[in-house]
Amino acid sequence: MSIDVAAPAVTNASFTEIAGAIRQAESIAILSHVRPDGDAFGSQLALALSLKQLGKNVTVWNEDGMLEKYAFLPGSDMLEKPPTEPSTFDLGIALDTATQQRLGLAGEAVSAPRWINIDHHVSNPGYGDLAHIDWSAPATGQILFEFLSDAGLPIDSGIAENLFVAISTDTGSFQYPNTTARTFQIGAELLKCGVDVGRVSQLLYESYPRRRVELLRELLGTMRFVADGRVASFSLSLKVAQKLGVFPEDNEGLIDHLRAIEGVIVAVFFEELIEGKVRVSMRSKDAAADVSAICQKFGGGGHKMAAGARARGTLPEVEERVMEAICAAVESLNR
Ligand code: 5GP
Ligand code: MN
């Protein structure tokens, strides 16, 4: 099965080893990836709140700072943009981050003799001193729930809400195929800890700014289909982004409109960035069409069914190269 081939050759540190390293440390920096999502923020804040209760001196940095959309998360005021000068900590912890480079400026701002890497990306090479990569977990928040439970660390209602947001957002509200019985059990445990699922879901999924829907209208205008409707794409140019005044985070999740179309196997979203780069975001509905493998050809990575890359070139150049690679992968499925 291709799933085994794609699994990284990482020897995982045990939860006991990770808890030991945390208990030994006094000052701890908790980081996650650039262009953060609910799993990144939820994981960072859940661990930070728990370790704070343990009496640790916790710093929580993300290159992008806190986004308006996630400002409701308990402990969100702890999350800051990193300073330009590096600081020294006893321990650095990278969460939900496939490569060190994706920590961005937050990674550069932390100097630490020891690093822990907890993640669920199949493309994670296991960087750091103690790595725990579980690519069967649908969210880093799920691994953290298991870790906190195993280590006997606190999970109060605020920590539970962060973990719930991490898991809910990375599973598409408990829908994606990597959602397991265990995920639902953990969801139930988190509700027992005090999570108000109706309130949290409304904040996550029914509170979008109007400009996000205006962006969707523009994107649908650029929608195209290739490979007999098995591949769908849309694109956002810098010009349109500026015209609408959209924030980078406004497009999170819009690609799901393409994936939701009957017959579509691979959905792709192209976003023109400054400095001659294009962000490529891909989703698959069939594990055999491994979008992480396609994105790795363009210097990116991710999961089999959700991956991304930042490719160099103009928007039309990157569109052409990437569409060619996707079509080759989809054609090779022979269906
Ligand atoms: P998204 O499409 O939501 O930006 O990202 C989907 C998944 O692919 C996420 O799990 C994300 O971490 C991963 N991903 C997105 N962009 C990149 C990238 O440039 N490099 C790597 N290695 N992974 C990425
Ligand atoms: Mn994640």
Domain boundary among 165, 189, 205: 205
Domain boundary among 205, 223, 246: 205
State which of 102, 133, 135, 283 you would mutate to test the pocket of ligand 1, scoring each by most atoms of that ligand within 8 A of its C-beta.
Answer: 102
Whether residues 93 and 158 share a domain: the answer is: yes
* Ligand in closest contact with the CA of 302: 1
Q: Judge if the beta carbon of residue 36 lies within 6 A of ligand 1.
A: no
Structural domain total, the chain: 2
Q: Select from 209, 300, 307 the least CA-distant residue to 255.
A: 307
Q: Judge if the beta carbon of residue 283 lies within 6 A of ligand 1.
A: no
Find the domain containing 21 and state its range. 15-205
pLDDT at 7: 53
Residue 113 in tokens: 């003799």
Whether residues 189 and 324 share a domain: the answer is: no
Residue 217 falls within a domain, yes or no? Answer: yes
Whether residues 280 and 220 share a domain: the answer is: yes
Residue 96 falls within a domain, yes or no? Answer: yes
Is the CB of residue 122 less than 8 Å from the CB of residue 303? Answer: yes
Whether residues 196 and 223 share a domain: the answer is: no
pLDDT at 10: 73
* Ligand in closest contact with the CA of 282: 1
Domain boundary among 181, 205, 229: 205
Q: Judge if the beta carbon of residue 99 lies within 6 A of ligand 1.
A: yes
Q: Judge if the beta carbon of residue 230 lies within 6 A of ligand 1.
A: no
Q: Tokens 């052409």, residue?
A: 320
Q: Judge if the beta carbon of residue 254 lies within 6 A of ligand 1.
A: no
CA-nearest residue for atom 12, ligand 1, is: 302
Whether residues 165 and 22 share a domain: the answer is: yes
Whether residues 217 and 186 share a domain: the answer is: no
Residue 199 falls within a domain, yes or no? Answer: yes
For ligand 2, the distance from its centroid to the CA atom of residue 240, given in whole angstroms, is 29
Residue 3 falls within a domain, yes or no? Answer: no
Residue 6 falls within a domain, yes or no? Answer: no
Whether residues 121 and 251 share a domain: the answer is: no
State which of 295, 312, 318, 326 you would mutate to test the pocket of ligand 1, scoring each by most atoms of that ligand within 8 A of its C-beta.
Answer: 295
For ligand 1, the distance from its centroid to the CA atom of residue 25, given in whole angstroms, is 30
Q: Select from 294, 296, 239, 238 the least CA-distant residue to 266.
A: 294
Whether residues 225 and 170 share a domain: the answer is: no
Residue 2 falls within a domain, yes or no? Answer: no
pLDDT at 5: 39
Q: Which atom of ligand 1 is nearest to the CA of 252?
A: 3
Residue 111 falls within a domain, yes or no? Answer: yes
Whether residues 19 and 96 share a domain: the answer is: yes
Whether residues 97 and 236 share a domain: the answer is: no
Q: Which atom of ligand 1 is nearest to the CA of 307?
A: 8
Chain mean position to CA 157: 23
Residue 5 falls within a domain, yes or no? Answer: no
- CATH classification of the domain holding 44: 3.90.1640.10
Alpha carbon distance 99, 121 (integer Å)? 9
Please report, in tens digits, the pLDDT of each residue of the chain (335 residues total).
Answer: 233 334 556 789 999 999 999 999 999 999 999 999 999 999 999 999 999 999 999 999 999 999 999 999 999 999 999 999 999 999 999 999 999 999 999 999 999 999 999 999 988 999 999 999 999 999 999 999 999 999 999 999 999 999 999 999 999 999 998 999 999 999 999 999 999 999 999 999 999 999 999 999 999 999 999 999 999 999 999 999 999 999 988 999 999 999 999 999 999 999 999 999 999 999 999 989 999 999 999 999 999 999 999 999 999 999 999 999 999 999 998 75
Sign of the dihedral through C-alpha 182, 187, 191, 193: positive
Whether residues 157 and 222 share a domain: the answer is: no
pTM assigned to the model: 0.91
Whether residues 319 and 194 share a domain: the answer is: no
- CATH classification of the domain holding 280: 3.10.310.30
Alpha carbon distance 61, 105 (integer Å)? 9
Q: Judge if the beta carbon of residue 301 lies within 6 A of ligand 1.
A: yes
Detail the DSSP E strand segments found in the chain: 27-32, 57-61, 79-80, 87-88, 91-95, 110-111, 115-119, 130-133, 224-226, 231-236, 266-273, 277-284, 301-302, 306-312
